[in-house]
């Protein structure tokens, strides 16, 4: 035998609500564990998810490094903590001696071992996995540190005033997702600066947003009026600029040339006012073609997906994406653009300001519905503004006093989106859409940093 395994029966209701887990705790030997695991379908999909979400709630005095979840029935789950040093080969041998190695059962055993230990042959981690583990961060403690307490003495706006610049005739959902996500996480005010065609639609989504129909597209502007209208747009947004804690540029922006020119001027003004800028979607298209908009600005955050990152690397580094040495490539890219912070979205989100790389690998969701990047940009904006205020108010002895607020905001935003996506997927499975994830943002933050 390999050693004892501690397991606890948990009600499905507790797992769904992510409340404190409860149940009867007992001890089983390895053989019993294997019998249980091969007798019921294994949900390897939830392996990382339950480790990140629920391990802290299980008050069992046992040294553990691995976690496995198998479904016993609709109303019951088994959470199993295996002691350090468990060898996958020994576990498999034990399984063979305990039950008949019929073909389906044996395959399920192998699947179990692969999920828990990586492979049956217990091969060492790849270099890429070793590197990513070494740069993994603890986002939950960070979120607790920078999330402001709910204080009755505070006034409206002190917990965050976020502005989204985006939204045109074709795209009205993206700016809404970014802006409403900021509110759902705890920002006091959320603005959207969009085109006149998009404004009524975005307003109809929610009365919570302050929508400004000030942007214009080329089809509405004559050549002779472009300068005057551009100045008018700039003046209209400038009236509000000093109130904002962060701008989100790009969700639903579109690629109209006149509109992009106006937004370029807005970004220059925000930079002069030292306002952080989170750039996503079509904002990344704009920046990739005009890097001087963000070059050398440490309060700029770029959040590229796979294709947007590829275009950035080709433009800045004049090469193809190198997934073998992704962290070093990301550092080089951030340095070349002058110390901006880049959040490279992927299976693990990689974040760098040109000095170091952090990774967020909290389990999210296999459902890849459109709009999650917009949630991320709004979330990063909120946490960035909170981190910046926290650092400014902290004394020199604080652990975060010398940290980059843009990096902290990216770590927190990435982790909270992934946690919300997990909760949404538990409820909706394949039917999960962006609105479901947004509705889980508040609970995700509450689980980590309770309002009370």
Q: Please report, in range form, the residues annotated as the binding site for (6S)-NADPHX.
A: 252, 305-311, 374
DSSP code of 296?
A: T
Over the Cα atoms of the chain, what is R_g?
24
Q: Name the helix (H) or strand (E) containing 379.
A: helix 372-393
Rounded CA separation 87/5 (Å): 13
Rounded CA separation 70/50 (Å): 11
Rounded CA separation 73/78 (Å): 10
Q: Please report, in range form, the residues annotated as the binding site for ATP.
A: 345-349, 364-373
Q: Please report, in range form, the residues annotated as the binding site.
A: 252, 305-311, 345-349, 364-374
| Sheet strand arrangement including 341-344 | 210-215, 189-195, 161-165, 246-249, 277-279, 300-302, 341-344, 349-352, 357-360
Centroid of chain to Cα 69? 24
For the stretch 46-52, contacts whose Cβ atoms lie closer than 8 Å and that sit 24 or more positions apart, written own/partner, are 46/363, 47/115, 47/116, 47/363, 48/361, 48/362, 48/363, 49/363, 49/422, 50/15, 50/79, 51/363, 52/362, 52/363, 52/419, 52/422
Question: In the Cβ-directed half-sphere of 84, how many Cα atoms lie within 13 Å?
Answer: 4
């Amino acid at each position: 035998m390999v050693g004892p395994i501690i397991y606890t029966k948990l009600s499905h209701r507790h797992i769904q609500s992510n409340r404190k887990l409860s149940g009867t705790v007992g001890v089983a030997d390895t053989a019993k564990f294997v019998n249980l695991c091969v007798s019921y379908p294994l949900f390897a999909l939830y392996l990382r998810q339950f480790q990140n979400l629920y391990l802290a709630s299980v008050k069992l005095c046992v040294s553990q490094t691995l976690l496995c979840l198998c479904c016993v029935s609709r109303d019951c789950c088994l959470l199993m903590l295996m002691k350090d040093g468990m060898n996958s080969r020994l576990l498999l041998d034990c399984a063979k001696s305990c039950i008949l190695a019929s073909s389906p059962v044996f395959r399920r055993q192998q699947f179990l071992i692969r999920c828990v230990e990586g492979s049956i042959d217990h091969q060492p981690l790849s270099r890429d996995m070793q590197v990513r583990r070494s740069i993994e961060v603890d986002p939950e403690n960070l979120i607790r540190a920078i999330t402001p307490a709910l204080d009755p003495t505070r006034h409206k706006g002190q917990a965050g005033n976020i502005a989204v610049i985006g939204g045109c005739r074709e795209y009205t959902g993206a700016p809404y997702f970014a802006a409403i996500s900021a509110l759902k996480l705890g920002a006091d005010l959320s603005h959207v600066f969009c085109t006149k065609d998009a404004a009524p639609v975005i307003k109809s989504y929610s009365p919570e947003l302050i929508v400004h129909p000030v942007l214009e597209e080329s089809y509405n502007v004559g050549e002779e009026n472009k300068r005057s209208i551009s100045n008018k747009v700039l003046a209209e947004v400038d009236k509000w600029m000093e109130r904002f804690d962060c701008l989100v540029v790009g969700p639903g922006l579109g690629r109209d040339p006149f509109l992009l020119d106006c937004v370029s001027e807005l970004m220059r003004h925000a930079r002069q006012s030292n306002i952080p800028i989170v750039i996503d979607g079509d904002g990344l298209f704009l920046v990739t073609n005009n890097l001087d908009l963000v070059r050398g600005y440490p309060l700029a955050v770029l959040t590229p997906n796979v294709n947007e990152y590829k275009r950035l690397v080709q433009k800045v580094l004049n090469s193809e994406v190198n997934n073998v040495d992704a962290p070093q490539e990301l550092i080089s890219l951030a340095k070349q653009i002058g110390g901006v912070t880049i959040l490279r979205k992927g299976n693990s989100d990689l974040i760098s300001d040109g000095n170091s790389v952090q990774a967020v690998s909290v389990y999210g969701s296999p459902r890849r519905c459109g709009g999650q990047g917009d949630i991320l940009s709004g979330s990063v904006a909120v946490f960035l503004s909170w981190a910046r205020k926290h650092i400014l108010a902290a004394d020199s002895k604080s652990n975060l006093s010398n940290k980059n607020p843009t990096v902290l905001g990216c770590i927190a935003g990435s982790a909270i989106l992934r946690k919300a996506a997990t909760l949404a997927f538990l409820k909706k499975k394949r039917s999960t859409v962006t609105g479901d994830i947004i509705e889980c943002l508040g609970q995700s933050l509450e689980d980590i940093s309770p309002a009370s």
